């Protein structure tokens, strides 16, 4: 047992204060700080190009995972070549399967611009070519020639028909043979009045003429088809004079890209096949207002849809997708309403994060990834197949879907970095067989780094970085020291420094506000203290209400005198934004009986499993200490008085054992001393959590009631290195008004609480247990 001295309780950074500097003259630091294992894992994951060496970055929030990943990937990305641009173009042979072309960085936008200029040029110049006198003359000549031949053939046929009593009449369904007499057509009544022999003769002549008419019309149609082909050839010839040169000029600029050359050749052919579109022929009068819209939609087939533009990129891309829905990851095929129906085309295809990151790195929060339907399974499928396919989510899930586009897939060359908690890593590793195959590298971020001169210097540069990135004032040396104290206390170990830089950044920004309010040029130590104090005030409603209840007696906690079977335990309460210590009154009553030790919290179902376990261990310690003389026969009841919110944890088991021994020995325990620590069956005091908050919670109560030099707290010896107490506590210890003892065994604790010889207590406990055994035996 030892009482801790002021030197032992000194703030850990006090000896290093003279070596700390302000941040104004410190260079910021980027990359992974204080995480050697994570840095090594990231180096491996980024260095191995393929084979499933994607990375899972594990660690709690606030340790700077995302900032470190960004910095590491940025430094790695500049060492690699910039990936190609991706463009989507119409597939003339099958418009439902658009083509995706890869072009050197910057040339995708150039192609988009060049093709748009080409189409605009053709829309302007092709109609002009068809307005020339030469074209008009040649077209009219072809049409005139076929018209003359048709008229001549029909005139000759009409003459032959007239010679045998028939004439030609043009009807809505074609050319008909009409019987005549004296050049006048016969009506039905006149025809029926003819003798039967005359009608039979006319039928024979009609059959002969019909065969000749059929042959003549067939010849006319063949002639017209030939003329149409000649007109089409003429149109193509005239248009080619404009189109060939324009397309060739663009094609020459991309002669080194066979895929682009093939696309331009298909575009060339399609333009000549759809000359009516470029000639700007007026829509029919009844086409309505949709005619213009449909015309512009028709020209979309010649656009170049720039999916990924790497023209401004330097090195490999680093894409962070915070909302990894299926569409955000893999791209989407958008739709629009046209005349009341949904329609789409290749220009409405957009790239996802995977396409933008292809050839580089994609960072994804794994929790968000798992939360979005289809995203996780589709990502694994893409990494296994090494193909990126833009498709409807329903298709990806194997469900029926309406007919839509299915663009050409591209080769996947992306390194995926998942960021999440260690628990999710374990879950995926155990539940998903393909996870370990695809994510072979785990980079785990720790919450602390060892205290050393080197890490103190690194810590100061981290603060300089937070000042730079947060746009706040620089810190003076005292402010650096205060924040270092915050980091050590957050680490829960005097020999560690917390790497939860996100939380430090929040304190820094609040301190900057108070520095600005005071008109200070730099953030001072006083500003950091004020920020911390204001946090307690702002978030401390529960703490204040508890203090009021203790002050007015609604919660009874004695801080003077001595009571049999009662001890002050220490607990930690958290409201999320505020964590503070709370003293708890623990009492035990004993009587003869065979019930053993009854945990009222357990019986009332207000005790958690850890507390129940601690009580059972306490019973084992009691049996080991006093069971040699016979069975430990008693009925004891243990309870946390005025505890209504439930009890869990085993950090009160040492206090509970002390209260039980006090009740058995009928020796009072000092109420001016509070106790925390768990006990094992050998009576050793074990480490607990929240040691600083527990001491400070009891100190605050004693301070309000008046310190008299008898107050103090007992903690496990193993927790001494976790002490980072409030300066007010340290000052009270230095003045002899408050005490902190470190205990290794239950005897150490009893020596303080009973303020006497522990041997006497043991003897009285044995006597009481022997008395109980005899009473029970007599019943």
Active site residues: 651, 694
Taking every pair of Cα atoms in the chain, the longest distance, rounded to a whole number of angstroms, is 156
Sign of CA dihedral 385, 412, 89, 242: negative
- Of 292, 298, 390, nearest in space to 350 by CA: 390
Helix, strand and coil in the chain, % to nearest 5: 50, 20, 30
How is residue 104 written in tokens?
A: 């050197």
Q: Residue 414: which region, alpha, beta or left (left: phi > 0; alpha: psi -120 to 50)? A: beta
Cβ-contact 415, 360 below 8 angstroms: yes
Give kind and range of the element (H or E) at residue 57: strand 55-58
- C-alpha distances (whole Å) from 139 to each of 122, 227, 238, 689 are 21, 10, 11, 97
SS3 85: strand
Own/partner pairs, 627-633, CB within 8 angstroms, 24+ separation: 629/766, 629/769, 629/770, 630/769, 630/770, 630/773, 631/773, 632/596, 632/769, 633/592, 633/593, 633/594, 633/769, 633/772, 633/773, 633/776
Residues whose CB falls within 8 Å of the CB of residue 576, separated by 6 or more in sequence, listed in order:
none
How is residue 173 written in tokens?
A: 């369904």
Strands (E), 161-298: 166-171, 174-181, 184-185
For residue 712, count CB atoms less than 10 angstroms from its CB and return exposed for 0-12, middle for 13-18, buried for 19 or more: buried
On the CB side of 108, how many CA atoms lie within 13 Å of its CA?
21
Strands (E), 532-632: 562-564, 566-574, 579-591, 596-599
- Of 48, 47, 45, 67, nearest in space to 56 by CA: 45
DSSP string, 462-514: HHHHHHHHHT-PPB-HHHHHHHHHHHHHHHTSTTEEE--HHHHHHHHHHHHHH
For residue 243, count CB atoms less than 10 angstroms from its CB and return exposed for 0-12, middle for 13-18, buried for 19 or more: buried
Cβ-contact 678, 686 below 8 angstroms: yes
- Of 74, 76, 67, 75, nearest in space to 499 by CA: 67
Helices and strands in the chain: count of H runs, count of E runs: 29, 31
- Compute the distance between CA of residue 606 and CA of residue 608 in angstroms, rounded to an integer: 7
Residues whose CB falls within 8 Å of the CB of residue 208, separated by 6 or more in sequence, listed in order:
164
How is residue 6 written in tokens?
A: 């002021």
The DSSP code for 53 is B
- Compute the distance between CA of residue 75 and CA of residue 31 in angstroms, rounded to an integer: 9
The DSSP code for 332 is E
Phi, psi of 360 (to 5 degrees): -145, -130
Give kind and range of the element (H or E) at residue 736: none
For residue 677, count CB atoms less than 10 angstroms from its CB and return exposed for 0-12, middle for 13-18, buried for 19 or more: buried
């Amino acid at each position: 047992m030892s009482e801790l001295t002021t030197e032992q309780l000194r703030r850990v950074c006090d000896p290093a204060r003279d070596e700390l500097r302000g941040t104004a003259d410190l260079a910021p630091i980027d990359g992974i700080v204080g995480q050697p294992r994570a840095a090594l894992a990231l180096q491996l994951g980024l260095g191995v190009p393929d084979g499933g060496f994607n990375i899972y970055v594990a660690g709690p929030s606030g340790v700077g995972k995302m900032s470190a990943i960004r910095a590491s990937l940025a430094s790695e990305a500049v060492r690699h070549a910039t990936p190609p641009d991706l463009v989507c173009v119409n597939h003339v042979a099958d418009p439902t399967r658009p083509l995706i072309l890869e072009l050197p960085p910057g040339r995708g936008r150039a192609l988009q611009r060049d093709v748009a200029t080409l189409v605009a040029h053709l829309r302007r110049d092709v109609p002009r070519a068809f307005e020339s006198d030469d074209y008009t003359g040649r077209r009219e000549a072809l049409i005139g020639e076929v018209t003359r031949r048709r008229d001549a053939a029909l005139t000759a046929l009409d003459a032959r028909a007239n010679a045998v009593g028939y004439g030609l009449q043009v009807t809505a369904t074609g050319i008909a043979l009409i019987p005549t007499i004296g050049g006048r057509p016969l009506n039905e009544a006149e025809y029926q009045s003819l003798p039967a022999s005359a009608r039979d003769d006319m039928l024979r002549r009609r059959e002969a003429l019909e065969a000749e008419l059929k042959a003549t019309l067939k010849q006319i149609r063949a002639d017209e088809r030939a003329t149409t082909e000649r007109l089409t050839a003429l149109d193509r010839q005239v248009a080619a004079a404009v189109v060939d040169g324009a397309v060739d000029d663009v094609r020459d600029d991309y002669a080194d890209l066979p895929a682009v050359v093939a696309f331009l050749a298909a575009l060339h052919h399609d333009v000549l096949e759809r000359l009516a579109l470029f000639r700007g022929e007026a829509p029919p009068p009844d086409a309505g207002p949709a005619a213009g819209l449909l015309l512009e939609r028709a020209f979309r087939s010649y656009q170049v849809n720039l999916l990924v533009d790497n023209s401004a990129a330097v090195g490999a891309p680093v894409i962070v997708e915070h909302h990894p829905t299926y569409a955000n990851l893999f791209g989407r095929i958008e739709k629009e309403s046209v005349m009341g129906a949904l329609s789409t085309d290749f220009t409405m295809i957009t790239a996802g994060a995977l396409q933008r990151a292809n050839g580089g790195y994609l960072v994804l929060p794994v929790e968000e990834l798992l939360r979005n339907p289809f995203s996780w399974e589709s990502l694994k499928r893409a990494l296994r197949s090494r193909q990126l396919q833009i498709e409807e989510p329903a298709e990806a899930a194997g469900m029926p879907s309406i007919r839509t586009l299915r663009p050409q897939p591209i080769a996947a060359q992306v390194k995926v970095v998942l960021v999440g908690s260690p628990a999710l890593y374990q879950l995926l590793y155990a539940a998903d067989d393909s996870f370990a195959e695809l994510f072979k590298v785990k980079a785990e971020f720790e919450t602390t780094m060892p205290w050393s001169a080197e890490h103190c210097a690194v810590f100061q540069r981290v603060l300089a970085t937070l000042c730079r990135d947060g746009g706040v004032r620089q810190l003076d040396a005292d402010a650096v020291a205060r924040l270092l104290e915050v980091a050590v206390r957050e680490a829960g170990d005097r020999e560690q420094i917390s790497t939860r830089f996100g939380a430090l950044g929040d304190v820094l920004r609040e301190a900057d506000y108070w520095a600005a309010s005071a008109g200070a040029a730099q953030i001072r130590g006083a500003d950091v203290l004020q920020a911390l104090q204001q946090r307690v005030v702002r978030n401390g409603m529960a703490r204040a209400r508890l203090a009021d209840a203790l002050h007015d007696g609604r919660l009874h906690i004695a801080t003077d005198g001595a009571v049999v079977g009662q001890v002050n335990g220490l607990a930690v309460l958290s409201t999320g934004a505020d964590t503070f210590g709370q003293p708890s009154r623990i009492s035990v009553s004993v009587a003869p009986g065979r019930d053993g030790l009854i945990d009222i919290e357990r019986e009332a179902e207000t005790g958690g499993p850890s507390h129940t376990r601690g009580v059972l261990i306490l019973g084992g310690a009691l049996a080991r200490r006093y069971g040699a003389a016979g069975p430990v026969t008693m009925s004891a009841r243990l309870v946390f008085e005025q505890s209504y919110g439930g009890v869990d944890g085993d950090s009160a088991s040492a206090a509970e054992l002390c209260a039980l021994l006090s009740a058995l020995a009928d020796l009072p325990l000092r109420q001016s001393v509070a106790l925390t620590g768990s006990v094992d069956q050998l009576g050793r005091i074990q480490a607990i959590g929240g040691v600083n908050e527990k001491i400070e919670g009891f100190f605050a109560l004693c301070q309000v009631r008046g310190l008299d030099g008898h107050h103090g707290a007992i903690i496990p010896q193993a927790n001494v290195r976790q002490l980072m107490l409030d300066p007010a506590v340290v000052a009270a210890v230095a003045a002899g008004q408050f005490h902190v003892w470190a205990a290794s065994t239950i005897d150490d604790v009893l020596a303080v609480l009973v303020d006497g010889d522990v041997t006497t207590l043991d003897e009285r406990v044995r006597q009481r247990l022997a008395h109980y055994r005899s009473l029970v035996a007599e019943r």
